[in-house]
Amino acid sequence: MAVPDRTLRPTPGQTVGPFFAYGVEYDRMHQVVDPYAPGAVLLAGTVLDGAGAPVPDAFVEIFGADTDGRVPRARGAFRRDDHTFTGFGRAFTTDDGRFEFFTRNPGAAPGRAAFFAAIVYARGLPDRLHTRIYLPENAAALAADPLLSALAPGERATLVAERTAEGHLRHDIRLQGENETVFLAF
């Protein structure tokens, strides 16, 4: 008996709703490392809509390598134990659209640029948005990065964080419009 041809369609995405925090919150989820741990850095920014207004009901997830550039394989991202570095964090935006993480500067493989992988969920987005947040320090590695080198200078700028005078990182995510953050297709 012949098997009929079937075309499977992917399940459509769904926008996050007013209750999306239920089931995704956990204790100290924005603390990838303890804020007072040696080498801790604050990564903070604002999620903005196309008009430049803050998005108060979004959430951002980050994943970064350890300081040696190795991808963490440790379990426990949802149960912080104050010593295991998993590289993963999640933060909801405030009423002012602000998010923040306590983490470490990720390392990079030789000749590569260091970055955090980031995912944004927000109202009106049927699918999550993937992007990167690069550390600003290594100009040669940033220039040689395969993704960044394929972008126009204005687009590259949307992926590179700013280092503050205190040594922390500042990075805004613009969902659309002028200076829209570059998002990656997966």
Question: Please, what are the domains in the chain?
Answer: 41-174 (2.60.130.10)
Instruction: Give the model's pLDDT for residue 126.
Output: 81
Instruction: Give the model's pLDDT for residue 15.
Output: 57
Which residues of the chain are modeled with pLDDT < 50? none
pTM, rounded to two decimals: 0.87
- 27: tokens are 């204790």
